[in-house]
Structure 1
Amino acid sequence: MSDTTMQAALGQQLMARLDDAARHSQPGPGVTRLFCSDEHRAVLELIADWMRQAGLSPELDASGNLVGRNERARQGERTLIMGSHQDTVAEGGKYDGMLGVALPLQALQALKEAGTELPYGVEVVAFGDEEGTRFQSTLIGSRALAGTFDPESLNARDADGVTLGEALKAFGGNPQEIPHLARRPEAVIGFVEVHIEQGPVLEQRDHALGVVTALTGIERHRMVVMGKAGHAGTTPMPGRRDALVGAAEMVVEADRILNATDDLVGVVGKLEVRPNAVNVIPAEVNFTLELRSPHTGLREQGRREVLEACQRLAQARGLELSSERTYQAEGVDCADWLVEALEQACRGCEEPAERMFSGAGHDGLAMHGLTDIGMLFVRCRDGLSHHPDEAISVEDAGRATQVLMRFLTDLGKDARSRR
């Protein structure tokens, strides 16, 4: 079989598997598959079958991850961990997360069928919860493996009042056993994730693949603007303390600052107005501010500039502004040796792969606390993600699978996998 024919076959089989996984979704547009849901349970049966075909033994762990291990991993040899998350945002796409589960299993199955035995342990993980859609919790499964799981997160509740701990027990997990899932750093070679880019850079460069150098740091703030309600028809315009007008100016100023700063992005993604009546001057506005950058100092500088500007705007209109940081995760660098190894695999498959950073968070943010991390991006159409129209091509799916196969076989020749 020629390389081109093999690439096409790999791509077609991978896309078929991703289509099968997407069927396990709540009704409605796109894919909605939440942590510890019926859809989660159903898709794990499918993934477990892929694992067995790849020569791995699947097992549901205490935190809701499905983990597949080859014989060497089960015997305690040093192990390369690969994988991504199975959960989605509401009405998301087929490929965010699931690509990083299906593709390494496809690559391992192809190597097995070719008679290639890897001289190190391999573990593929379908992480249970990365998006945080159901419980507003993130990286539950990867934090469990990294040994940084916070037991307090078990008390988080979904919209129906069910706690994360209760849902895990019903799903077959065991919250009390989660601390025992932590891997020993000396037993792990590294962690590698394949993921759609979720941005337009690869498409603009006309490249199928990219090698990630760093994962972005993220922080989120809850902003509260307090003004004074009044009759919209009888209160003169001068002197009004309109919280919504003030908040609107803050959003525009935040956007200006972000546009003027390289490697810093952000968004005001949620906004609530009170009393939210057609003929009442808004008295209170709550909005979220999210900032992202792979450079901690740059993100902190951007935060200071945005918050100081918002305070100035509030004072100018006689408004009160308070802010509370609700989430923070520091950016992390990918290991140089994994970046270089993925680049070498791309070159070996005659695929250009420029270095780039990820503007999204991934399970690697947690896994970095355990081991070296590496990441391979796959081009997505229009840079679209978290959307029903999220798409990759059959050709790119095949290219990425071949590159990962090359990476895995090259790693077997590298002393790092045997130290």
Structure 2
Amino acid sequence: MPTRLHDLAPDHFEVASRRVMARCEELARVTATPGEIERVYLSPEHARVNRLAAEWMREVGMTTRQDAAGNQVGRLGGADLPALMIGSHLDTVPDAGRFDGIVGVLMALEVVRILRPRIDAFPFAIEVVAFSDEEGTRFGKALLGSSAVAGSWNDEWWTLEDADGTTLRQAFLEFGLDPGRIGEAARRPDELVGYLEAHIEQGPELDRRGESLAVVSSIASARRFQLSIEGEARHAGGTPYDVRHDALLGASEAALAVERICRAEHHIIGTVGQLEAFPGAVNIIPGEARMSVDLRGEFDGARDRVWDEIERELYAIMGRRGLRWRAHEIHNAPAVLCAPLLQDVVRQGIVSTLPRGADAPASIFSRAGHDGMAIGAITDVGMLFLRNPDGISHHPDESVSAGDVALGIRALTESVLHLAAEPA
């Protein structure tokens, strides 16, 4: 099988890139919040982007279906063959950028467009998957769509509620899905040969290196906690400092401790993204504070050691201030190492875009989570990063250049060709 794309016009990838960028703009207009981009799981906006994705899948010759979890799937190739899955997600955080997840789905469709004339020679089919709920914005649980595909759905999730009190089960029914059939979304390992995903880097490393593309070595392990800190609410004017038990000050000191401890550790990132004080009046000492802690690391063991250190520091802080505290773990995901073979084919794909004699492509550990964290339970995972100027993501200023997208489409296509040429 040929592993290079010599027969394509020189501007082929630029044309494909312009189509991807235009469709990112088209999807950005599908939003629940005027003036911002917001698409959450099992919403009318979710249904609309699935219809668009299905239309674009059929345009490149794929058969399409919406699976039992609301993921949109397209397939090209023999029905009796295992599939190489390529994709990303179409849901967003509130006030999102245009490219996180979305660009990976649209690039996958361009890979199919290029490879369609060759598909009969492939030892596998190609499936493009637009996952439905990577971000976890609506129900507070990330990776719902890919977890269903991985066969790791937890029935306890059915009682999760959104901000309006709608349960996940109710939302399934209102969307037209049958909760009793969720198991039908699951794929068997023997049905797949691997999973590839192109994604913008959600950090500045490629931009700082002045490079367009990178091989992803692994996806971060993650743990998330909700902390509740209890003190005593009293009058702000009448209570001396020596008898105060200010829950907000305890939480603030804890937040600084998270930063200090994590900054001292290599490849561990800690973030306090939520902090609330109660009762929340200007003239009352906060009697309760609630905060989140998000921990990510390249390796599970280092991440867990950092949490143990944070726990020890929290006991010390709360003890000094006469406060009580408790932590509830709401998310725990192990690190996912990208498969050596898929790292290798992605690396070869990137090399095809570089001038002769250029340095080897960068290899970057992903500090952000991706659907591959769930899919890694059933098949090998590989990822390609695209440069994101200044590393801004989960924000309207998130960006990627059309030139880098063109290089990414070529690299991803070459990666698939190299994989197809590998001995079975």
Aligned 8 A contact 1:29 1:388 in 2:
no
Higher mean C-alpha deviation, range 260-269 or range 17-26:
17-26
How far is 1:328 from its partner? Answer: 0.9
- Secondary structure in 2 aligned to 1:415? coil
Write the distance in 1 (CA, Å) between the matches of 2:59 and 2:117: 10
2:33 to 27, 34, 37: 27
Pairing 1:256–2:267 present? no
Q: Structure 1 residues 170 and 117, CA, compared in 2 at 3 Å: closer, same or farther?
A: farther
Write the distance in 2 (CA, Å) between the matches of 1:76 and 1:143: 24
The answer as to whether partners of 2:119 and 2:125 remain within 8 angstroms in 1 is no
User: How far is the alpha carbon of 1:113 from its aligned partner?
Assistant: 6.2
Work out the CA distance in 1 between the residues paired with 2:132 and 2:139.
12
C-alpha distance in 2 between matches for 1:28 and 1:390: 18
Cα 1:115/1:359, change in 2 over 3 Å: closer
Specify the alignment match of 1:47 in structure 2.
53
Q: 1:36 aligns with which of 33, 42, 49?
A: 42
Instruction: Report the Cα distance in structure 2 between the residues aligned to 1:185 and 1:44, rounded to whole angstroms.
Output: 25
The partner residue of 2:76 within 70, 73, 76 is: 70
Q: Is 1:235 the equivalent of 2:239?
A: yes
Does 2:172 align with 1:171?
Answer: no
Q: Report the Cα distance in structure 2 between the residues aligned to 1:133 and 1:123, rounded to whole angstroms.
A: 26
Distance in 2 between the 1:4 and 1:319 partners?
66
Matched, 1:162 2:166: yes
Q: Using structure 1 for the length normalisation, give the TM-score.
A: 0.94
Aligned residues: 414
Amino acid at match of 1:277: A
Matched, 1:337 2:341: yes
Quick one: which of 122, 129, 136 aligns to 2:126?
Answer: 122
Deviation at 1:344, TM superposition (A): 0.9
2: CA distance, partners of 1:128 / 1:2 = 33
Once the two structures are TM-superposed, the CA of residue 287 in structure 1 deviates from its matched residue by 0.9
Instruction: Decide whether the 8 Å contact of 1:30 with 1:389 is kept in 2.
Output: no
Comparing 44-53 and 27-36, the one that deviates more: 27-36
Is 1:28–1:91's contact at 8 Å kept on the other side of the alignment? no
Q: CA deviation at 1:93?
A: 1.1
Q: Tell me, which stretches of 5 or more residues in structure 2 are unaligned?
A: 1-6
Percent sequence identity is 38
CA contact (8 A) 2:299 2:335 kept: yes
Gaps of 5+ in 1: none
Letter in 2 for 1:15: M
DSSP-derived class of the 1:192 partner: strand
- More deviation in 262-271 or 3-12? 3-12
* Displacement of 1:341: 0.9
| Counterpart check, 1:379 vs 2:387 | yes
Residue of structure 2 equivalent to 1:397: 405
Query: Hey, what does 2:4 align to over in structure 1?
Result: none
Matched, 1:57 2:40: no
> What amino acid is aligned across from residue 61 of structure 1 in structure 2?
D
Deviations 1:377-399 (A, max 9, x none): 11112101111111110101100
When residues 27 and 235 of structure 1 are mapped into structure 2, their CA distance, relative to the original with a 3 A threshold, is: closer
Change (3 A) 1:253 1:161: closer
Could you give the per-residue CA deviations for residues 23-80 of structure 1, whole angstroms, max 9, x where no partner exists?
11123343101111111111112111211122211111111011101131xx120210
Distance 1:228 1:151 in 2: 38
Once residues 185 and 236 of structure 2 are traced to their aligned partners in structure 1, the CA distance between those partners, rounded to angstroms, is 59
TM-score by length of 2: 0.93
The answer for the alignment partner of 1:275 in structure 2 is 279
Q: Distance in 2 between matches of 1:231 and 1:175?
A: 50
User: Is residue 111–residue 117 contact of structure 1 (8 Å, CA) maintained in 2?
Assistant: no
Cα distance change on mapping 1:170 and 1:76 into 2, 3 Å? farther
In the TM superposition, residue 166 of structure 1 has moved relative to its aligned partner by 2.4
Please report how far the alpha carbon of residue 136 of structure 1 lies from its aligned counterpart in structure 2 after TM superposition.
1.5
**2:378 aligned to which of 351, 370, 373:** 370
Q: 2:103 aligns with which of 95, 99, 103?
A: 99
Instruction: For 1:209-228, list aligned pairs within 5 A.
Output: 209-228=213-232
Counterpart for residue 24 of structure 2: 18
